[in-house]
Every structure is written in structure tokens, then in C-alpha cells.
């Protein structure tokens, strides 16, 4: 008889440091990341105000928010990429620059854990009022970066920020709390990764709640939900609309959540069909 442990083992990811890429296509691409791409991305994040937005939100410099409301996520994605690179190609200068940016991110976080520089700087009174503004999406990318950086360096600064942010989400949304399910997937798989590294089951439970609340139930309960990204308004097994980033994230998210929950799952199209394992709520 298949056990829950055996089912979970099927869904475990292979840790990045355990993968060695030697082929003639991808290996040169990875080498170019270290040689040029990270440097260019860091320069562009500086030029466009993406990094200084954190300093402004922290009160370390004057000025208004620069760029579109989800600009924070680009910095998080860059940090995640740097973390993966550091696991295979140590670079003291690159790590020091990442540490500097992480310090600004930590300083920008609000007392209750909230973190999105657009709202902190421009519209603090409008937090959690518009699902098109990607608040949890940006938070999800922060969490993924934090987990990757902790695993790469052992440093907890960004991971502590991620935990405080996830605690803010969990204290605000969920069963018996406020209802909020954004159309753009990302936060769910990030919460599972945070659960894996911290062992805090409430992060996985929140991820499952966010997933289960998508579809018609969410549409009935929350008139604020945006239909533009597609997947959040459809039952999971029919969620085949939306843009490519959301679709790919949705598929990965479903496998991560159900795999860690000990549920028998199979990916069909863009959704998941499942049967709950004994003892799993």
C-alpha cells in the first residue's frame, strides 16, 4: 500500500546545488549570467529606481515611487537568480551587493509585516483594495528569493522578512478572516517553499486555502477579484485562460501544494485532479 511519505517523495524537487549542467546550450548561458547579465540587471534596477524605491520606503532618502506598481518583484527575481548562481559559482562582490539590497528591503518592511513600496510611498490608505495591484504576487517573489538566498548563503535577513510578510498574510486572510484571492498565481507555491524551509505548517495551509478558494467560490465571495488574469475565476480543472506566466506558475503551484499535502495528484492540462489522503484536511 502506498504511504503518504512515498507519495510526497514523488513530488520533491531536486535541490539546485545537486544539478550539474554540462551541455553545449545551457552551460554557456549560465556562464553569461555570471559574466554579464547579473551586472546589467543590477544596473537597470538602479537606473529605473527599483532599488531606490526600497530606500525611499524605509525613509532613508526622499522621493516618490518610480515605475509601475509591481516593480519590487523584479528586484526579488534578480535576487533569486543571484542566489542560485552563488550556490554553484561563489562571487564575493555579487553576494555583497545582494546583501546591500536585502538590507534596504528589510528596512522598507512595515511594522505589521506589509511590504510593497508602491503602496507605502504613494497610497498607504489603499492597501488590499485592488487585486490588480499584485500585492501577494510581489510577496511571493520575495519569499522565493528569500528561500533561495538562505539555502545558498545561510543568511537569514531576507528569510526573516519573508516570514514576517507571510505572517501578515496569514493573520489577515484565511478561514474566518478576510477573503482575498488574487488572479495572478505565485504566492501559493512560494508559501509551500517557505513551509519546507521553516517547517511552519500554517504557511502550507494558507497556500492550500488560497488554491481551494479560487474559482466560482471566490467570484461569489469577492467582488474585487480581477478577471483579467483568467485563472483565478475558473475552477482549477478548467483554468486554461490567462497569460503565460500565470499559466506556468499555476501548474507548478498545484503540484507543489498537493504534493506537500500528501495528496494523490495528477496534472491534466492546467489543473489538478486529486483524492485526499487519509488524515489530510
Q: What per-residue confidence (pLDDT) applies to 276?
A: 37
Q: What per-residue confidence (pLDDT) applies to 250?
A: 53
Nearest to 236 by CA among 256, 259, 261, 253: 253
Residue 34 is assigned to a structural domain of this protein: yes
Enclosing domain of residue 83: 4-172
CA separation for the pair 75, 91 (Å, rounded):
19
Whether the predicted pLDDT of 14 surpasses 70? yes
Q: What per-residue confidence (pLDDT) applies to 10?
A: 58
Question: Number of structural domains, the chain?
Answer: 1
| Lowest mean pLDDT, pick from 72-76, 80-84, 130-134 | 130-134
Residue 107 is assigned to a structural domain of this protein: yes
CA separation for the pair 81, 148 (Å, rounded):
8
Average pLDDT for 133-137: 96
Q: What per-residue confidence (pLDDT) applies to 160?
A: 98
Q: What per-residue confidence (pLDDT) applies to 15?
A: 76
Residue 227 is assigned to a structural domain of this protein: no
DSSP string, 87-116: HHS--HHHHHHHHHHHHHHHHHS-TTS---
The rounded radius of gyration (Å) of the Cα atoms in the chain is: 19
CA separation for the pair 26, 5 (Å, rounded):
34
Nearest to 163 by CA among 154, 174, 171: 171
The percentage of residues in the chain with a pLDDT greater than 90, rounded to a whole number, is 61
Residue 180 is assigned to a structural domain of this protein: no
Average pLDDT for 46-50: 98
Q: How far is CA 179 from the centre of its chain?
A: 19
Average pLDDT for 46-72: 98
Residue 43 is assigned to a structural domain of this protein: yes
Whether the predicted pLDDT of 141 surpasses 80? yes
Whether the predicted pLDDT of 62 surpasses 80? yes
| Lowest mean pLDDT, pick from 3-17, 174-188, 225-239 | 225-239
Whether the predicted pLDDT of 81 surpasses 50? yes
- List pLDDT tens digits, range 178-219: 999 987 789 999 999 999 999 999 999 999 999 888 764 444
Residue 215 is assigned to a structural domain of this protein: no
Q: What per-residue confidence (pLDDT) applies to 183?
A: 72
DSSP string, 162-229: HHHHHHHHHHHBSTTSB----SS--HHHHHHHHHHHH--HHHHHHHHHHHHT-SHHHHHH-TT--STT
Residue 250 is assigned to a structural domain of this protein: no
Whether the predicted pLDDT of 109 surpasses 60? yes
Residue 231 is assigned to a structural domain of this protein: no
- List pLDDT tens digits, range 234-280: 444 444 444 445 455 555 555 555 555 544 443 333 333 343 333 33
pTM (two decimals): 0.80
Q: What per-residue confidence (pLDDT) applies to 211?
A: 87
Amino acid at each position: 500500500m502506498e504511504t503518504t511519505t512515498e507519495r510526497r517523495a514523488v513530488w520533491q524537487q531536486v535541490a539546485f546545488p545537486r544539478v550539474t549542467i554540462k551541455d553545449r546550450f545551457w552551460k554557456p548561458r549560465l556562464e553569461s549570467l555570471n559574466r554579464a547579465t547579473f551586472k546589467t540587471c543590477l544596473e537597470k534596477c538602479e537606473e529605473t529606481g527599483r532599488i531606490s524605491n526600497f530606500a525611499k520606503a524605509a525613509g532613508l532618502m526622499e522621493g516618490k515611487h518610480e515605475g509601475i506598481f509591481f516593480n519590487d518583484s523584479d528586484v526579488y527575481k534578480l535576487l533569486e537568480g543571484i542566489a542560485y548562481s552563488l550556490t554553484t559559482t561563489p562571487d564575493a562582490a555579487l553576494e555583497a551587493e545582494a546583501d546591500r539590497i536585502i538590507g534596504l528591503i528589510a528596512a522598507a518592511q512595515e511594522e505589521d509585516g506589509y511590504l510593497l513600496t508602491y503602496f507605502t510611498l504613494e497610497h498607504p490608505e489603499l492597501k488590499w483594495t485592488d487585486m490588480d495591484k499584485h500585492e501577494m504576487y510581489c510577496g511571493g517573489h520575495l519569499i522565493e528569493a528569500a528561500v533561495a538566498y538562505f539555502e545558498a548563503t545561510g543568511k537569514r535577513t531576507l528569510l526573516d522578512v519573508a516570514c514576517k510578510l507571510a505572517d501578515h498574510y496569514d493573520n489577515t486572510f484565511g478561514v474566518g478572516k478576510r477573503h482575498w484571492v488574487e488572479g495572478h498565481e505565485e504566492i501559493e507555491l512560494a508559501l509551500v517553499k517557505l513551509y519546507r524551509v521553516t517547517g511552519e505548517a500554517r504557511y502550507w495551509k494558507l497556500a492550500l486555502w488560497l488554491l481551494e478558494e479560487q474559482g466560482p467560490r471566490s467570484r461569489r465571495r469577492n467582488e474585487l477579484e480581477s478577471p483579467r488574469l483568467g485563472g483565478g475565476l475558473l475552477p482549477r480543472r478548467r483554468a486554461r485562460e490567462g497569460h503565460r506566466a500565470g499559466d506556468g506558475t499555476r501548474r507548478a503551484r498545484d503540484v507543489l501544494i498537493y504534493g506537500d499535502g500528501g495528496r494523490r495528484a495528477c496534472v491534466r492540462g492546467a489543473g489538478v485532479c486529486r483524492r485526499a489522503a487519509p488524515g489530510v484536511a
